[in-house]
Amino acid sequence: MNETIDRLRISLSQNRGFYGALLGLVVLYLIYNSLHPRGFSSAVLVQNANESIVIAFIAIAQTFPVLIGGLDLSVGAVMTLTATIASELVNGSPGHMIAGMFLTVLAGTAFGLMNGLIVVYGRLQPIIATLATGAIAMGLALFVRPQPGGNIDGDLNWALTNSLFDFAETYHLFDDGNAAWFQIIAWIPVPLVILFGILALVWVPFKRSVTGRTVYAIGSAEGAAYMSGLPVARAKIIAFTLAGFFAGCGGLFLAIQTSSGNADIAQAGSYTLNSIAAVVIGGTSLMGGIGGAVGSMIGALILRVISFYFRILSIDPLLQSLVEGIVLLSAVSLGALRTIQVKNRLDLFR
Amino acid sequence: MSMLTKMNPENKPIIIASGFVVLILAVGTIYTLSTQGSAPLLQPKYLLQQLQTGSFLGIAAAGLMTVILLGHIDLSIPWTLTASAMIATTVGGHLAIPAGLAVGLGIGLFSGLGVAYLRIPSMIFTLGVNSVMQGLMIAHTGGFAPQTAATPLMRFLASEKILGIPVAIFVWAGVSVIIAGILRFTSFGRSIYATGNSERAAYLSGIRTRRVVVGAFMISGACAGLAGVLLAGYSTQAYQGMGNAFLLPSIAAVVLGGTHILGGRGRYIGTFIGVLLIVLLNSVLSIMQMPEAGRQVIYGTVIIAMLLVYGRTGRITS
Amino acid sequence: MNSIQTLVELKNISKNFSETHALRDVSFTCKKGSVHAILGENGAGKSTLIKIISGVLKPSSGDLIVKGQPVQFSKPSEAAKAGIVCIFQELSLIPDLSVAANISLANPPRRFGLIDNRVQNKTAESLLAKINCEDVDPRALVRELSLSRRQMVEIAKALGKNPEVLILDEATSALTSRDVETVYDLIGNLRDDGVSCLFISHRMHEVEKLCDTLSVFRNGQHVETFAKGERSDNDIVRLMIGREVGAHFPPKPVYARSNPHLEIKNLTWETSIKGVNLDLGKGEIVGLGGLDGQGQKELLLALFGVLRGLDGQVLIGGKPTRPNSPAAAKSDKSSIALVPEDRKTEGLMLPMSITDNLIAASFDQVSRYGFISREKEKAAVASGLAKLQIKAGHASDAVATLSGGNQQKVVIAKWLMTDPDIILLNDPTRGIDVGTKKEIYKLMRELADAGKAILFYSTDYAELIGCCNRVAIMYDGAVVSELSGDAITEQAIVAASLNMKTSGTAA
């Protein structure tokens, strides 16, 4: 017992940004639900989950390059590219659909791998390299789908964007979702299951692997990581590859949600920029080495919850970017107050 | 060849970028000669027209360079540019241009203070500032293109010609001379390089590094503001999203010109040539009637390819 | 010659970096169970040698033979597999990872393919216990530890790899004296277990205490290897620099105390400085001594305007003056210069030219209305290079191309351009070759003779004794003893450093 408290205390002191963001999200969301006329209901949760999952995936994607002290300016474009691919492939027979989803995510992963190879073997700064590959991804997206549109299976759209009950009903599982035991979890939105499921399957093993450790080590002290015999090049490539993978997941879900693909340059750019904001709000340092994907997901959810407030408080939606900007600036300024208390000014320049 | 290896590494990207500018012109000309039997790319009139539209990018990139030399970045350029243009047309009259520039300076000051004194990464702070400016301007205009028009002086600076040369090019040249002069000949310019290399060492050398950072962001803001004022003059009015097409090309121009994205190294002439490169590449792609998809792919591939070439040559000397 | 006894052997190894030869035709052997010192000035090739042995660099030519087998390491981890482990001067720890993760960094204990944190913590605990560091929590992040603790974690990390050859590159430079003793014991135990240690240090007393064999390097060549005691100290120094050196230190003129130029009264900051009282006159060199980490560095930073939240009084020329930034400190009002602790990150902008570095503190002196004057700049740089006899190809070369000693000279020259009245020196000779050290001592004396007031922190007692008119010993954030004149002896300094009142030499 004592040891658990001890461990929690250490974790709290080492991850202040993360726990701050978590607390912020919980408070924001509880207030939102109590203000909402149908608050604390499965319907509201389903709607919110659908609106949040894509940016959550993109924020998680951005986390990996940021942890190595880099940045991936192509995540939004890769998301757009994969969404256009999905809009072509995810339809037809179940087997065809599954293959299409697989190929979509594979395309994102492959693009991430290319980013990683360019950064590592071309020795380019990630921010510039991905700025350029982002343009390439947008170009490819425009090739795939010069006009918005697409053809995604309607059942799939319905099943994946609603609660587990609807999923079971659509595919005639568990007595069409009426099995008694199933009721405990039937209200949970499918997007959340997918998000948490993929996060748990990928992030947890990653964090406890030597590659994951190397990713953190690169962001913290790259020279020391190399000297200690850590697989630096491999870890960098994997970091960008995972960014591509999660961006691909985001693109796939975006396409399923909207039943279409759209090579929208402005949308891609805004997702990329929001992913950086989400990563920072979630307690990950842009210098690398500190933070994690769970924090980024929380950061993305915070950004989304703030936009929910516009609806229930009927604030002029024109003010949305103003409020988002102010929230971002206040959040990072709050974290920066510590610098004002720094007693040794040299500590500012680390 | 031996000249290339002996050359100052700072000049290498500049030489290569210049070579690439010539290559673009050559490829474009061969294309037009074979398809249309004419060579518009080599006609001064056409080139001047391209440079005129390129001067807005050139001015924004000049300001951004001072920030990148510090190892920072200014992502607020799109809406700084738009805000300056909108305020300039709203204020109108003789005060239009000063008002537009003041908006740019003010935004730069705010970003600089946040980055220098609160020590928030510029990437994130200027992102927030961009968002705030976007919100303010949408609130200001109600989300529509403002009805106000650019003043005659703004239009003169952006669209008129003196001796057959567009005035905008003179403005760009003037900004270039000022920025290059600051970087090369003033203690402020040297402080930018020192701070960009090692802020810790610069601070311990008694350089007021925070003021340097604020100053550079103000330059960047003012340049973006000027670009916005001119662009409004060129299109006779300000409009939503007019700055969106400037951020990535200006970053690309600065970097292709050899300025190190992590700060401390780079020469102004490189940025100038980087802008030329991007402007001419766009022109040639327009002439070829390349669809947007192809443009994006070529654009990205050119940046990657050039940086890979820089990297190669860098390795030979080190 | 017993081949089993030879762990590492280099045969005709050379290493070239573009035009320069870092190592030339070096042959060298390291025997099992020996503690082997490698001596030489900076640039003698010591670092290159150990980098080749430990797999960081590949030799340009020649053979590396480990336990009788020719090997080619392409990275440090391969050398570690062969039993060769190096503790580098620049710490190789990851600040944002836990102590335990750092200790078993590249090869953690795993369960079901994933890192097993519990076992990892246990391993770290037992290794830390071996070197008397039970106070370090394996779960703490390395960035939360002090420099000396980090160095010990570094040693624990090396031990965790079960080395057969342990290379220590200035590994004791950041340690407290208690830890130094621990490390000495550890090296002894390892030697008894048959482990060889290659030991690089600029501290002769350490070398004499620990090592049984000494090798001297000069200009990338292996000059001589001999057993301890075969050569006198003077011989060794002569082998290292290849020429005779006279007395290390310039003569000290008798200093007549006059009105102090700088007075520090009851200065306090956080927990590091606890009521320091000290004064400093023009023409005087005052040493700051004591064990490492007793507030000496903080005191220098406080005077230079870097620290916030100071209490107490600082008088310069009788007037209360407390600059709030280095920029204010260097202004005419206080006219202070600081040669900082780490020349690579604090003293210099390494990729920039020598010129840019030299004028970085004196833009005001070489410019008018904010514009730099080419002539003034040129003249200032030329005089700076000449005054310190900086050996540089061209003033437009990057300062990173200079040797360590010349780099430090650039830092000093940069500050002399501001013509300061008060010069603060933070261990300016650390990691610098003997020849340059001597030049710096001479320069300090000349500056003092020219009326500068110099406050000089050093970890090397011999320097304090040789250079200073007065030595203030700090202990736990306060000056506990001031020694002057003939009272500055090694014994007195050591006694005061340990805050032993019984020595009776305190002034």
Per-residue pLDDT, averaged over C480-484, amounts to 90
Tell me the per-residue pLDDT of B129-162, one tens digit each, with 9 for 90 and over.
999 999 999 888 887 777 788 888 999 998 888 9
B205 contacts on C by Cβ (under 8 Å) = 326, 360-361, 414
Query: Mean pLDDT: which of B185-194, C187-196, C255-264 is highest?
Result: B185-194
Confidence (pLDDT) at B177: 97
CA pair distance C322, C343, nearest whole angstrom: 25
Q: Is residue B193 very low, low, confident or very high in pLDDT (cuts 50, 70, 90)?
A: very high
Please, where are the H alpha helices in C289-332? 296-303, 326-330
Helix axes A42-67, A75-89, angle to 10 degrees: 130
Per-residue pLDDT, averaged over C442-460, amounts to 91
Confidence (pLDDT) at A210: 92
CA pair distance C372, C366, nearest whole angstrom: 6
Distance from the B153 Cα atom to the nearest Cα atom in chain A, whole angstroms: 32
Query: Mean pLDDT: which of A149-153, B57-61, C237-241, C374-378 is highest?
Result: B57-61
CA pair distance C140, A14, nearest whole angstrom: 8
Percent of chain B with pLDDT over 70: 95
User: Comparing A197-206, A307-316, C12-21, which segment has the lowest mean pLDDT?
Assistant: C12-21
Per-residue pLDDT, averaged over C207-222, amounts to 84
CB contact under 8 A, C56 and A227: yes
Q: Is C111 exposed, middle or buried (0-12, 13-18, 19+ CB in 10 A)?
A: exposed
Q: Which of A14, A208, A228 sits opposite C115 (nearest CB)?
A: A208
CB contact residues (below 8 A), chain A span 105-144, against chain B = 118, 122-125, 127-129, 131-143
pLDDT at C503 over 50: no
Q: Is residue C2 very low, low, confident or very high in pLDDT (cuts 50, 70, 90)?
A: very low
Average pLDDT, chain B: 89
* DSSP letter assigned to residue C342: -
* DSSP letter assigned to residue A318: G
CB contact residues (below 8 A), chain A span 278-297, against chain B = 280, 286-287
Neighbouring subunits of C (3+ Cβ pairs under 8 A): A, B
pTM: 0.84
pLDDT at A91 over 60: yes
Q: Is A23 exposed, middle or buried (0-12, 13-18, 19+ CB in 10 A)?
A: exposed
CB contact under 8 A, A220 and C95: yes
Look up residue C113 and give its two tokens: 């393919």
Per-residue pLDDT, averaged over B208-223, amounts to 96
Selection from C196, C194, C226 nearest residue C35 by Cα: C196
Confidence (pLDDT) at B217: 98
CB contact under 8 A, C364 and B187: yes
Look up residue C405 and give its two tokens: 């000693």
Q: In the beta sheet, which residues pair with residue C339?
A: C425
Q: Which of C326, C345, C356 sits opposite B194 (nearest CB)?
A: C356
Look up residue B120 and give its two tokens: 């928030």
Q: 3-state class of A122 per DSSP?
A: coil
CB-defined contacts A:C, below 8 A: 87
The CA angle C317-C320-C325, to the nearest 5 degrees, is 100
Percent of chain B with pLDDT over 90: 62
Look up residue B225 and give its two tokens: 């503001």
Task: Please give the full DSSP string across C97-125, using - where no structure is assigned.
Answer: SBHHHHHTSSS--EETTEE-HHHHHHHHH
CB atoms within 10 A of CB A179: 12
For residue C431, give Cα distances in angstroms to B161, C36, C47, C171, C406.
64, 19, 12, 12, 12
Tell me the per-residue pLDDT of C111-130, one tens digit each, with 9 for 90 and over.
888 999 899 999 999 999 98
Selection from C281, C298, C278 nearest residue C473 by Cα: C278
Q: Is residue B313 very low, low, confident or very high in pLDDT (cuts 50, 70, 90)?
A: very low
Secondary structure, 3-state, C348-398: CCCCCEHHHHHCCCCHHHHEECCEECHHHHHHHHHHHHHHCCCCCCCCCCE
| Sign, CA torsion A117/A122/A124/A128 | negative
pLDDT at A52 over 70: yes
Per-residue pLDDT, averaged over C197-211, amounts to 79
Selection from C203, C234, C254 nearest residue C427 by Cα: C203
Per-residue pLDDT, averaged over A66-88, amounts to 94
User: Comparing A20-29, A167-176, C198-207, C486-495, which segment has the lowest mean pLDDT?
Assistant: C198-207
Per-residue pLDDT, averaged over A147-155, amounts to 84
Q: 3-state class of B206 per DSSP?
A: coil
Task: Please give the full DSSP string across C457-479, using - where no structure is assigned.
Answer: E-S-HHHHHHH-SEEEEEETTEE
CB C415 within 8 A of CB C246: no
CB C165 within 8 A of CB C194: no
CB B62 within 8 A of CB B214: no
Confidence (pLDDT) at C502: 45
CB C22 within 8 A of CB C136: no
Measure the CA dihedral C97/C102/C106/C112, to 10°.
-70
CB contact under 8 A, A323 and B135: yes
* Residue partners of C152: CB distance under 8 A and separation at least 6: C128, C131, C133, C136, C175, C179, C182
Tell me the per-residue pLDDT of A257-285, one tens digit each, with 9 for 90 and over.
998 889 888 889 889 988 998 998 898 88
How big, in percent rounded to 5, are the helix, strand and coil portions of chain A? 80, 0, 20
CB B60 within 8 A of CB B250: yes
For residue C48, give Cα distances in angstroms to C54, C70, C82.
10, 19, 19
Confidence (pLDDT) at C236: 78
Look up residue B35 and give its two tokens: 């398809």
Confidence (pLDDT) at C10: 87
Tell me the per-residue pLDDT of A328-348, one tens digit each, with 9 for 90 and over.
888 788 777 777 777 788 877
Could you tell me if C91 lies within 8 Å of chain A, comparing CB atoms?
Answer: yes
Percent of chain A with pLDDT over 70: 99
Average pLDDT, chain C: 85
Confidence (pLDDT) at C506: 39
Q: Which of A132, A139, A140 sits opposite B303 (nearest CB)?
A: A132
Selection from B220, B240, B191, B189 nearest residue B106 by Cα: B220
Q: 3-state class of B188 per DSSP?
A: helix
Q: Which of A213, A216, A224 sits opposite C93 (nearest CB)?
A: A224
CA pair distance C103, A13, nearest whole angstrom: 21
A289 contacts on C by Cβ (under 8 Å) = 94-96
CA pair distance A341, B62, nearest whole angstrom: 36
pLDDT at A120 over 70: yes
Query: Mean pLDDT: which of A144-158, A187-201, C291-305 is highest?
Result: A187-201
Helix (H) or strand (E) holding C491: helix C490-497
User: Comparing A94-103, C168-177, C237-246, which segment has the lowest mean pLDDT?
Assistant: C237-246
Q: What is the CA radius of gyration of chain A?
A: 21
Tell me the per-residue pLDDT of A216-263, one tens digit each, with 9 for 90 and over.
999 998 888 888 888 999 999 999 999 999 999 999 999 999 988 898
Confidence (pLDDT) at A324: 82
Confidence (pLDDT) at C3: 44
Look up residue B122 and give its two tokens: 């510029």
Could you tell me if A348 lies within 8 Å of chain B, comparing CB atoms?
Answer: yes
CA pair distance C295, C28, nearest whole angstrom: 42
* Residue partners of C365: CB distance under 8 A and separation at least 6: C359, C376, C380, C417, C418
Per-residue pLDDT, averaged over A188-200, amounts to 93
Interface test with A, best of B131, B132, B255 (most A CBs within 10 A): B131
B139 contacts on A by Cβ (under 8 Å) = 316, 318-319, 322
CB B169 within 8 A of CB C345: no
Confidence (pLDDT) at C257: 74
CB contact under 8 A, A71 and B123: yes
C90 contacts on A by Cβ (under 8 Å) = 223
Could you tell me if A317 lies within 8 Å of chain B, comparing CB atoms?
Answer: no
Distance from the A306 Cα atom to the nearest Cα atom in chain C, whole angstroms: 31
Q: In the beta sheet, which residues pair with residue C11?
A: C63
Count CA within 13 A, CB hemisphere, residue A66. 31
Percent of chain C with pLDDT over 70: 93
Look up residue A45 and give its two tokens: 């949760």
Question: Across chain A, which distance is largest between two alpha carbons, in Å?
Answer: 66
CB B149 within 8 A of CB B89: yes
CB contact under 8 A, A213 and C306: no
**Bridge pairing between strands C367-368 and C371-372:** antiparallel
Confidence (pLDDT) at C505: 41
Task: Please give the full DSSP string across C237-269, using - where no structure is assigned.
Answer: HHHHHSS----SSPPPPPPPP-SEEEEEEEEEE
**Bridge pairing between strands C470-475 and C285-289:** parallel
Neighbouring subunits of A (3+ Cβ pairs under 8 A): B, C
pLDDT at B316 over 50: no
Q: What are phi and psi of C98, to 5 degrees?
A: -70, 165
Residue in chain B closest to C336 (alpha carbons) equals B206
CA pair distance C177, C172, nearest whole angstrom: 9
Could you tell me if B168 lies within 8 Å of chain C, comparing CB atoms?
Answer: no
